[in-house]
Every structure is written in structure tokens, then in C-alpha cells.
Structure 1
Amino acid sequence: MYNSKIKGLGYYVPDNVVTNDDLSKLMDTNDAWIQERTGIQERRHVVKGEDTTTSMGVKAARIAIERAGIDKDEIDFIVFATLSPDYYFPGPGVLVQRDLGLPTVGAIDVRNQCSGFVYGLSVADQFVKTGMYKNVLVIGSELHSHGLDMTTRGRGVSVIFGDGAGAAVVSREEDNSKGILSTHLHSEGQHAEELSLLAPGMGSRWVTDIIEENDPDDESYYPYMNGQFVFKNAVVRFSEVIMEGLEKNGLKKEDIDLLVPHQANLRISQFIQKKFGLSDDQVFNNIMKYGNTTAASIPIALTEAWEQGKIKEGDLVVLAAFGSGFTWGSAIIRW
């Protein structure tokens, strides 16, 4: 078996910056309220007609492919993680294949929300390690802003999320001591409704029902989150899955050079940092600038950390995520 490594990274966020003060003009909130609860200062929202989930993913992918030092036609497979696709079907993976002008390679879509990139990375890792593919493109991209309740009623959710995309090229590595050492994935569907959005036309309510009811107070269009319950589960599962990965590879928490957690809430990251006894230099956070970009958050953060020189060859890098599903996972990487 081969090993796999992240050979190239890239990210893209829209130019449109939305500050907490901007949101205070739309709903009953303020900068102090948002920062105290989430750590977020600003986020990016797309301008309608300028970006889509797919187009942002393509822009991030082009950067990752260039940095990987390969031709785009050397991509063997595409894994696209998102909860906000352009269409219910087809998924964005095939749209990336089209827009990048790739050969007729396979493409799959991963619907694991905040854990989506870690799940997608795990899929790519297995394909490369078994020798089936040599270069797999993994994308996490989200367009949340058009689906949020931008009123006081929805502020508990809408202040958190932003738009953006990140991408990685996962390639074959001959040295088994380098690259992705292991990935670890979990789910607990009994809590699915604690962080969810019922798709119109799916489940118990159909589009025709919604149109007929025409209820201005209908909240089913928007995401629901039981924030405190999600937080309590997140801090437990983050810790468990990080330790699972370390123990699998005979490592200790003291061996971590950089932890890149899913950017869900700065308080969650700080809780995990304190529990593991990590310094500020050992944990990378950028939720302050971008908010929670769900499947895009880890690849955006990982790319920024790499660009800023916070990741060096030989470093032990740990990725960890928790989110809707509930799903959670980790990846242990020797850079």
C-alpha cells in the first residue's frame, strides 16, 4: 500500500465583508453580543450572481492544483463536501469536473456538514492508499448567506455562518512515515434534529404544502440549532476523536505541533486547547474573520496556517471536526 499526503492547498472567500455592526442594522444584536458567544468579528457573504458553491470550490481548487505542481488533467477523482449545493441534484462534484475541464473522472459528493472535509479527506486517503487513484481533489465549499433568517428571530444561527471554499490535492507518497497517518470517523444519528434543516419537498412537508400554507411565520425554511446541546456534545467528541487518532499512532497530546479544528465557535476551540494544554501557537483559529463555513472551514484554516508558515515539514498536524448529524472525525498528518 501507498501512503497519501496533502500536496497542494488553496482557498477562496468572497470579497464582501459583513461585520457584526452590519448585522446589527438587520437584527437586534451587537458586536459585543456576537463576539462573547462565538468569537466572530466578521464573515464573508457572496454577492448574488457573482459566486456559487461550485464556483467558489473551483477557484479554491485551481490554487490547490497549481501549488501541487501538477496539471489539472492529472486529477483522477473529485470529492466535494457541502451542505449547500447549487442543485439538489446533480451534486457539485460533477460541476467541478465540467468547469475545470477535466477528463471524465469520477466525482462524489459528501453530505456530512461540518465534518464534511474530514470525511472527504478520509475517502481520498483510502483511494490513494489502495493505489486506485494517484491525485484526488478534495473540496469543501459553502454558500450559507442566502439561506439564513437575517432577522432578530434567526440571529442565534445567522450571525454564525459565512461563505467560502477550501481545497486540497491528496497525492501518492512513497514514504510511509509522512502524509496522512490515519483518519477516524463517527456518527450519532439519534441527535440529527438538534442541528438540522428540513429540505422543502422532502420529509413530511412537500413544496406544494408550503406554497398552499403561505405562512409568513414559517421557520422551516431556515436551519435549527440547539446551541447549548450541540456545544456540550462537541467538546466531548472533539476530545475523544483527537485522542483516538493520537493513540492509534502511538502519539501523545504533547506531540501535536498544530491543531486545526473545525471553526464552529471560538469557545469550543479554546475549551479543547485548554483541555489538551496547548499554547496559542499550537492551535489555529480564523473564525474571527470568516465565521463558520462548515465543510470549508478546515481547508480554509489549514491553507492559511500553511501560508503563514505555521506548518513545517515533519510537523504533526491534527484536524478535528464535529457537526450536524451528529458526525465527527479527525485526521492525523505528518507533514
Structure 2
Amino acid sequence: MIDMKSAKIIGMGHYVPDNVVTNQQLEPLMDTNDAWIQERTGIKERRHIVPGGEDTTSTMATKASQMAIEKAGIQVDDIDFIVFATLSPDYYFPGPGVMLQQQLGFKKEIGALDIRNQCSGFVYGLSVADQFIKTGMYKTVLVVGSEVHSGGLDFTTRGRGVSVIFGDGAGAAILQVTEEKGKGILSTHLHSEGQHAEELALIGPATTDWVPNYIERNDAEDIRYYPYMNGNFVFKHAVVRFQQVIQEALEQNGYQADDIDMLIPHQANLRISQFIQKQMNLTDERVFNNIQKYGNTTAASIPLALSEALEEGKVKAGDLVCLAAFGSGFTWASALIRW
């Protein structure tokens, strides 16, 4: 019989580019304004990398990871495995996990796993790391979410429904085996519904339509290389799936919504978070949002928010913390943690 271990988060880190892009800065680029953006999304500003600068998906992940390593009080070579979640890798291949491994300066040749679950990516990654630790395969795992959206958005009126939402950033967590009973990750819950895959997607170029085809067509109206989102459809599904997956985590562990000390939802849209908060009857003090400052950073949003919540003293030892995400795929996931 396998001696199942427990996994707990021992350090968090985050990084965002210095370049702040306010709603007002988007007004000359498209038919929009600060009031319109805030009313629909809650976002006031976001961070974008500077094209040609030092920030990339992997370098931002490296900086977030270095902060997490420092907070955890460990050395780089204490880490046994890397799980890297992103939809915006530096290259088509190889994946950014190996680049992070190189940039952190590992002396040992540990494995690096890249996963593609978009907005649910960090929670999926957390679940993977949790299973590795519980079975005893690894003792210390680095889980990262990092995204660069800004270079692939349509900054015209045509694309404003997507381009005003997304930002760049990274977040990282160090998970380690623990002997403390009842502490750490209590459970994770992962779901998908592929029939709605193209309601929130970037269709091409892809293996079904390679880049030379785009060049040959030279069609200015072909905008499949920009992200597409059926906003109302996604919103309606998100509010349902968020509640379901949070409730699933609570029920499996014998808790109710009132027991949650801190809910950290994926920062997709402040209106989604507020709807979930109201439905679950949670006070403002028990829900953490930072989308107002950073926009939607996809796989980075939950670790970025959790890292900030810890820095601000809003998550404390003994707290019951719930992480929940919904996004492209559709995929959705939750994790319940006793801090």
C-alpha cells in the first residue's frame, strides 16, 4: 500500500512588467473609454511587456520563481520537478519549462512539464504537483503560471472586447511534502467541456493551417490569429462552473461556504468574481481580487493574486483557502487548501 504524503505551499512569488497601460491609454487606439471598460470588467489598468525588452514568458516566470524560492527559504537545487502552465510560450517549441530550468541555474537535470489549460492552468499544475508529492515521487515541486498576451492582441475597435481585458505577468509556488496532518492541499478538482472549445480560442496559425497559408492568402480580414471570445456565452458558463467546482471541493472535505477564509478566483472579470461572491454570501474580506491592477493574466492570475494576498497579510496560517478557475477549453478547476 502506498504511503500517501501531503503537499503544502511553502513559498509564493510573482512578477509583473513595469510598463503600466491604463484604460485612458487605450482610448486613442479603439472606440472605448475608462468608464466602459470598468463597467464591464472592473479593470483600471494592466501591465504589458516592452517589445524587444528583457521580459518574456520564461524570464517573468524566472523572476516569480526566484521570489518564491526566497520566500520558501530553500535553494534552487532543493527543487525536484517543474510544472509550467502557459498558453503563451516563448517559442512554439520547446516549451518554457526547460527554459526556466536553465535560467534558474539548476545543477541537476530535473524534469520540466509544460501544461496547456489556459486560465485553469495553475490549478491543474497544482494538482499535478500534489499528486507527485502525495505518491512520494518528488518532495519539492515548483509550479509556475506565466503569460505574455500583449503582443498578440487586436488593439482596434474590432478587438476591444478581448484586448482591454488581458495583461502580462507571472506567479509561482513552491510545494513541499509535509508531515502536518490536516494542512496543505486538501483536494483538487479538474473538469473540461470540449464542445465549447472554439467559444474562447486562438484558431490559427496552427497545425491545421500553417503560417505559409496565411502568407499566401495575404487576407487582411483573416483575423484568426487574434484571440476570439464569445463574451456573454463565456460569462454565463463561468458563473455556473465556478460555483459548482467550489461547492465540489467544499463537500468533499465536509465544509460549507461559510468556512472559507479566503476565496481567490481566477481574475477573468471582476463582475464574475462579484457574482460568485454574492451567490456564496461571502464578505469582501474573504474574496481577493487584483484584476483592477493587472487585468486577466490567464495561468498567472491565481498565483499572482495568492502571492499578493500573502504579502498583504490577508492569508494566514490555519486559513481555509479556496482557489477556483474557469477558462478556455472549456476547463475549470478548484483547490481547497488549509494554510
Alignment-derived partner of residue 177 in structure 1: 182
Alignment-derived partner of residue 198 in structure 1: 203
Secondary structure at the aligned position of 2:38 is classed as: helix
Letter in 1 for 2:34: D
Letter in 1 for 2:306: L
Gaps of 5+ in 1: none
Aligned-partner Cα distance in 1 for 2:181–2:50: 44
Letter in 2 for 1:195: L
User: Is residue 12 from structure 1 mapped to residue 15 from structure 2 by the alignment?
Assistant: yes
Alignment-derived partner of residue 46 in structure 1: 49
Alignment-derived partner of residue 146 in structure 2: 141
Aligned-partner Cα distance in 2 for 1:201–1:177: 45
Of residues 276, 295, 302, the one that matches 1:291 is 295
Aligned-partner Cα distance in 1 for 2:292–2:202: 25
Letter in 1 for 2:143: V
User: Is residue 304 from structure 1 mapped to residue 308 from structure 2 by the alignment?
Assistant: yes
Of residues 308, 325, 328, the one that matches 1:321 is 325
User: Is residue 332 from structure 1 mapped to residue 328 from structure 2 by the alignment?
Assistant: no
Alignment-derived partner of residue 102 in structure 2: 98
Aligned positions of 1:259-270 closer than 5 A: 259-270=263-274
Q: 1:171 Cα shift?
A: 0.5
User: Is residue 280 from structure 1 mapped to residue 284 from structure 2 by the alignment?
Assistant: yes
Alignment-derived partner of residue 21 in structure 1: 24
Deviations, residues 176-213 of structure 1 (Å, cap 9, x unaligned): 3100000000000000000000131422x221110011
Aligned-partner Cα distance in 1 for 2:337–2:157: 42
Aligned-partner Cα distance in 2 for 1:293–1:176: 33
* Residues 237 and 328 in structure 1, CA contact (< 8 A), matched pair in contact too: yes
Alignment-derived partner of residue 224 in structure 2: 220
* Count of residues in Structure 1 that have an aligned counterpart in Structure 2: 334
Secondary structure at the aligned position of 1:26 is classed as: coil
Alignment-derived partner of residue 35 in structure 2: 32
Q: 1:49 Cα shift?
A: 2.2
Distance 1:243 1:201, change over 3 A: closer
Letter in 1 for 2:305: A
**Identity rate, percent:** 72
Aligned-partner Cα distance in 2 for 1:159–1:254: 34
Of residues 80, 84, 105, the one that matches 1:80 is 84
Secondary structure at the aligned position of 2:128 is classed as: helix
Aligned-partner Cα distance in 2 for 1:207–1:168: 36
Aligned-partner Cα distance in 2 for 1:105–1:122: 19
Secondary structure at the aligned position of 1:319 is classed as: strand
Aligned-partner Cα distance in 2 for 1:88–1:287: 28
Letter in 1 for 2:95: G
Of residues 186, 191, 206, the one that matches 1:186 is 191
Q: 1:216 Cα shift?
A: 1.4
Alignment-derived partner of residue 67 in structure 2: 63
Aligned-partner Cα distance in 2 for 1:117–1:262: 10
Alignment-derived partner of residue 245 in structure 1: 249
Letter in 1 for 2:322: V
Letter in 2 for 1:39: G
Letter in 2 for 1:113: Q
Q: 1:88 Cα shift?
A: 1.0
Letter in 2 for 1:139: V
Distance 1:242 1:201, change over 3 A: closer
User: Is residue 2 from structure 1 mapped to residue 5 from structure 2 by the alignment?
Assistant: yes
Deviations, residues 54-74 of structure 1 (Å, cap 9, x unaligned): 000000000001111111001
Secondary structure at the aligned position of 1:332 is classed as: strand
Alignment-derived partner of residue 113 in structure 1: 118
Gaps of 5+ in 2: none
Aligned-partner Cα distance in 2 for 1:237–1:176: 30
Aligned-partner Cα distance in 2 for 1:43–1:201: 28
TM-score normalised by structure 1 residue count:
0.99
RMSD: 0.6
Secondary structure at the aligned position of 1:117 is classed as: helix
* Residues 2 and 176 in structure 1, CA contact (< 8 A), matched pair in contact too: no
Q: 1:101 Cα shift?
A: 1.2
